[in-house]
Amino acid sequence: MADVAIVGGGPAGLSAGLFTGKNGLDTVLFDTDGTWMHKAHLFNYPGIGSVGGSEFLATARQQVDDFGVTRNQGEEVTGVEEHGDGFLVTTEADEYEADYVVLATGASRDLAESLGCEFDGDLVDVGVSMETSVEGAYATGAMVRAEEWQAVISAGDGAAAALNILSNEKGEHYHDFDVPDTATSVFGGLIDDE
């Protein structure tokens, strides 16, 4: 049984996977490669001067792979349902159990609807943590926004969902800050060693 199942391999799903995998949660990510990113070229993503969408995806996929995420490339999720204290994710090939599920399926809201998530008009209703009305189920990206579908916004949605999951697992608000070895010499007393 996985800690987290992520449905979708665009910026939101890969961002969620990066944070959960990096922080030791057993994560499985389903990616059919149907993302709009292959048609994009990023000029408006902070820290990236210019990169094609497919190149961006290749880098992000390598990052989640490096952090131990099980990425089921090409395996399409056909259903998600509540199961015990978590979720059952069904594909044509198999069934997977997870404590949490992150829906990162672009504008497709079918899985959120079948799971029983509440909607606000045509959009999946979420809070700032990206959690839906179904406890432990998160929705991200275009399914929760009418217009703002930029990669950087979707990646932020995925990060918000992952950080909320990590906070739930750790029992306190969790920040994922990477601190370089030189931080003490640069920032001195501003660093909290705990």
| Residue-range domain boundaries for the chain | 2-190
Position 191 pLDDT exceeds 60: no
Q: 21 near 4, Cβ under 8 Å? A: no
Which fold would CATH assign to domain 2-190?
FAD/NAD(P)-binding domain (3.50.50)
Structure token digits, residue 167: 């906070």
| All residues at 6 or more sequence positions from 148 whose CB lies less than 8 Å from its CB, including other chains | none
pLDDT band, residue 194 (cuts 50/70/90): low
pLDDT digits (tens, 9 = 90+) for 96-140: 999 999 999 999 999 999 999 999 999 999 999 999 999 999 999
- Give the three-state DSSP class for 140: coil
| pTM of the entire predicted model | 0.91
Going by their DSSP bridges, the two strands 27-31 and 2-7 should be labelled as parallel
Which of 76, 89, 77, 67 is closest to 4 using CA atoms?
89
pLDDT digits (tens, 9 = 90+) for 139-187: 999 999 988 778 899 999 999 999 999 999 999 999 888 777 776 666 6
